[in-house]
Amino acid sequence: MKAPPAELPQPTHTLASFCGYINKVFHFRDFLPNLSDARHAPDISAQSVFLALFHGFVFRLYSVPQLEADLTEPHLQRWIEAKRAFGDDVLRYSLCGFALEPLTEMLVDINRRLRRNKAFEPGRVQGRMVAALDGIEVLSSYSRCCEFCLQRRVVSLDASGNPVEQIQYYHRAVGCQIISSPVKPFLAIEWVQPGEGEDTAALRLLHALPERYGSAFFDILLLDSLYAQAPVLKLAEQLGWDLVISLKQEARQLYQSAMGLFQSRCPEHCFQEQQGGTTYEVRLWDTEGLPFTEDHPQPVRVVRSQETVTENHYRRGKLQPQTSEHEWLWLTTLDPRVFSGPQIRRLGHDRWKQENNGWNDLTQNWALKHDFLHACKHRPKVESSSGERQPVANHGLAAVTLIRCVAFALSSAFVLLHSKIFRRYSLSRREVARQLYRSLWKDPPDIRAPA
């Protein structure tokens, strides 16, 4: 009797295949000569520093000390084209004076190539591409601060239980992300500056997007209630974007006008929806032609959704249904002849994809809130207009975030658009990162790294 044939080992991803893909499709190596920092005649080039941190993000390394330990290995030195091992002191000194514009150009070019290669086609809504914009607090500290820190007063309890007021320093960023396609890259990140609000940074980002990508790069923009402002509507109308904005009582005039109309009539749509183990009973109202504000009477459409959500939870060892009530309002500029009320509701809830597939993913799996490079005191010096040598402005946090966004976009493209192993064996993205990391310690192929 013949023995059953031995199963072939499962194929794995290799760093050579990943680097070959990003070099062939995105011309990754072509951007490396443009990278620079504020150091003078460095022994370790800015390109090697970038590649070290880039590979650390691709490998999903947990900390900078782990990357520092790996940089002692000749294999990784070869991949990043470094002459010798180096530690986090070189990373800090280089990145806090890193030029941001070449990193921004790299991210823009990657997203442009993704669109040209039709990576954003799957998931379009009525033929439209959808983006979302929202903010996040990146880090906070009571002791460390830099010239770009925001400040607030926080009351906490001391050891004796007495209230104590302290100044807390923090950073906040606004990001715009494509969310309608399987690959969900960030288009741009803008940092909230001292003395301004998140809405100011968001407007600055929205004004910069057409200059970088063109006004028609996406079609629909999903926004939080904070951005329900006349300047946002004017800019969207000028650029041809349609909006879906969460509406809360902050916009009291529009909110009260809509609620007054909805309470006097029956809902236009009533339906039940099942998602996983959760049941949604939905009642929808839809009205159009309401003036946004007295100062900006542009007519807008408002959709209201009352939802009864039933979920199963374990209580005392038994699976029991639990019901909760929710209410949502959205204002939108979308044509009701093309986008029905249920589609507006779906788009309104899709804004949470930026939380789940964007900020939360970067926080949990890409160390977004790691305080590396925050408030670095040891920085390269440049000569000022008065002839004095002064430390450069610390843009390390912004540089690290841009490199993270580049790694996030390229890793997602490699896994979702290129990898047959990922689709065939139903791997997680973290497992793909582990395979790339493990392949580093095998005998490297005889090719020019990192192509």
pLDDT exceeds 60 at position 409: yes
Rg for the chain, CA atoms, rounded: 25
Query: Kind and range of the H or E element at 228?
Result: none
Alpha helices in 214-351 (DSSP H): 230-239, 252-262, 341-350
Nearby residues of 160 by Cβ (< 8 Å), 6 or more positions away:
none
Return the SS3 of 171: strand
- Compute the 3-state secondary structure of the chain and give helix, strand, coil in percent, each to the nearest 5: 40, 25, 35
Express each pLDDT in 227-246 by its tens digit: 988 999 999 999 999 999 99
Higher pLDDT among residues 321 and 448, named by residue: 321
Q: State which amino acid sits at residue 220.
A: I
Band (447; pLDDT cuts 50, 70, 90):
very low
Query: Kind and range of the H or E element at 215?
Result: none
Query: Kind and range of the H or E element at 398?
Result: helix 396-413
Return the SS3 of 150: strand
114 CB neighbour count, 10 Å cutoff: 22
Q: pLDDT at position 443, please?
A: 56
**C-alpha dihedral over 422, 428, 430, 432, to 10 degrees?**
-20
Give the pairing type, strands 220-223 and 242-246: parallel
Q: Give the 3-state secondary structure of 346-380.
A: HHHHHCHHHHHHHHHHHHHHCCCCCCCCCCCCCCC
The Cα–Cα gap between 85 and 71 comes to 5
The Cα–Cα gap between 241 and 237 comes to 6
| Interval 175-201 mean pLDDT | 94
pLDDT exceeds 80 at position 315: no
pLDDT exceeds 80 at position 127: yes
pLDDT exceeds 80 at position 2: no
Express each pLDDT in 320-379 by its tens digit: 888 999 999 999 999 999 999 999 999 998 887 656 667 777 887 777 667 676 767 778
Task: Tell me if 109 sits within 8 A of 103, measured CB to CB.
Answer: no
Query: Nearest CA to 168 among 180, 156, 181?
Result: 156
Query: Nearest CA to 111 among 15, 56, 175, 47?
Result: 175
Task: Tell me if 178 sits within 8 A of 129, measured CB to CB.
Answer: yes
Task: Tell me if 44 sits within 8 A of 87, measured CB to CB.
Answer: no
Express each pLDDT in 275-308 by its tens digit: 878 899 999 999 998 888 877 788 889 999 999 9
Band (7; pLDDT cuts 50, 70, 90):
low
> 110 burial class (0-12, 13-18, 19+ CB within 10 angstroms)?
buried
Nearby residues of 256 by Cβ (< 8 Å), 6 or more positions away:
none
Alpha helices in 62-160 (DSSP H): 64-70, 74-79, 88-95, 100-116
Structure tokens at 226: 């904070």
Side-chain-side CA neighbours of residue 447 (13 Å): 11
User: In this prediction, what percent of the chain has a pLDDT beyond 90?
Assistant: 55
| Interval 79-91 mean pLDDT | 90
